[in-house]
């Protein structure tokens, strides 16, 4: 009898040890930290990982039928750029009607959606939606981005898999931090002047991509005249002119 009890306990221990951990579903951003200048914009993607225990994002087992989430940020820190919210196409429905529900306020975005009710399949990818935030917080500060459930009551269901199973109790949410940095100072080209052996001088500079460049000359620093062969493209810029008494300047437009 004692031996039978010991064998039973041993078997239970084996089952306990080999029992796989329950899959944890995580809704998160595509980064834990974003860096953006004050007044600048940053694109944010919201993802769902069907098994946070495994490496890399996993689709929901049996697919995802519906979702409901809320993105929050402090007041006076950011605003959602109009027209920038894009829900993954298969989830971009409200019942039978195309277009997931998206509600934007000064400090949040709430979105709920589902696979079209006349579609027998479920969503088998990990991207839920994408949006663009414009940063209004001052330079040198940081603020949180938070994801929470769109539930209005504890019993409300938003996350449902392709077999009709409610997932909300097994869904957790991860946030991110937005750090506000000074805008990058644009690098301006410097006009280099080199004397040549043929009584001429060479004017050269490294152009800034996407701009037009003009070299002007003056004899009194008041009246400036453009050189006839001023470069206006992004290529290597070198100009030879007579070595007489003149001043030169480089304009970038």
pLDDT tens by residue, 123-172: 999 999 999 999 999 999 999 999 999 999 999 999 999 999 999 999 99
Question: Which pairs with CB-CB distance under 8 Å and at least 24 residues apart come from 210-213?
Answer: 210/234, 211/252, 211/253, 212/252, 212/253, 213/189, 213/237, 213/250, 213/251, 213/252, 213/253
pLDDT of residue 126: 97
36 has a pLDDT exceeding 50? yes
What's the start-to-end Cα distance of the chain, in Å? 94
SS3 144: strand
Question: What value does the mean pLDDT take over residues 189-207?
Answer: 80
What tokens does 37 get?
């200048």
Fold assignment, 21-181: Immunoglobulin-like (2.60.40)
pLDDT class for 229, splitting at 50, 70, 90? low
CB 150 within 8 A of CB 49: no
pLDDT band at 18 (very low <50, low <70, confident <90, very high): very low
pLDDT at 228: 53
| Of residues 44 and 252, more confidently modeled | 44
Q: How much is the average pLDDT of 180-208?
A: 79
**What is the per-residue pLDDT for 10?**
37
The average pLDDT across 116-122 equals: 91
Dihedral (Cα; 21, 124, 161, 71), 10-degree rounding: 90
Contact status, residue 224 vs residue 217, Cβ threshold 8 Å: yes
Mean pLDDT of 88-103: 97
> Where do we find the tokens 């939606």?
129
Average pLDDT, the chain: 85
pLDDT in tens, 66-80: 999 999 999 999 999
């Amino acid at each position: 009898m004692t031996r039978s009890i010991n064998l039973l306990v041993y078997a239970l221990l084996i089952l306990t040890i080999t029992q796989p951990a329950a899959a944890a579903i995580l809704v998160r951003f595509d980064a834990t930290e974003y860096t953006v200048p004050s007044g600048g914009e940053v694109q944010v993607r919201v993802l769902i990982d069907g098994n946070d225990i495994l490496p890399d994002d996993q689709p929901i087992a049996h697919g995802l039928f519906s979702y409901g989430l809320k993105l929050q940020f402090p007041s006076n820190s950011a605003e959602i750029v109009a027209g920038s919210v894009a829900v993954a196409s298969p989830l971009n429905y409200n019942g039978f009607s195309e277009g997931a529900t998206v509600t934007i306020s000064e400090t949040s975005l709430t979105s709920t959606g589902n696979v079209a009710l006349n579609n027998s399949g479920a969503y088998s990818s990990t991207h839920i939606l994408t949006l663009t935030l414009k940063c209004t917080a001052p330079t040198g500060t940081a603020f949180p981005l938070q994801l929470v459930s769109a539930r209005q009551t504890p019993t409300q269901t938003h996350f449902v898999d392709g077999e009709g199973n409610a997932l909300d109790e097994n869904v957790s949410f991860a946030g991110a931090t937005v750090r506000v940095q000074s805008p990058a100072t644009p690098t301006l080209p410097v006009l280099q002047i080199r004397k040549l052996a043929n009584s001429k001088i060479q004017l050269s500079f490294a152009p800034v991509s996407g701009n037009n460049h003009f070299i002007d000359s003056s004899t009194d620093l008041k009246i400036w005249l453009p050189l006839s062969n001023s470069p206006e493209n992004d290529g290597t810029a070198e100009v030879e002119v007579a070595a007489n008494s003149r001043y030169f300047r480089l304009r970038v437009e």
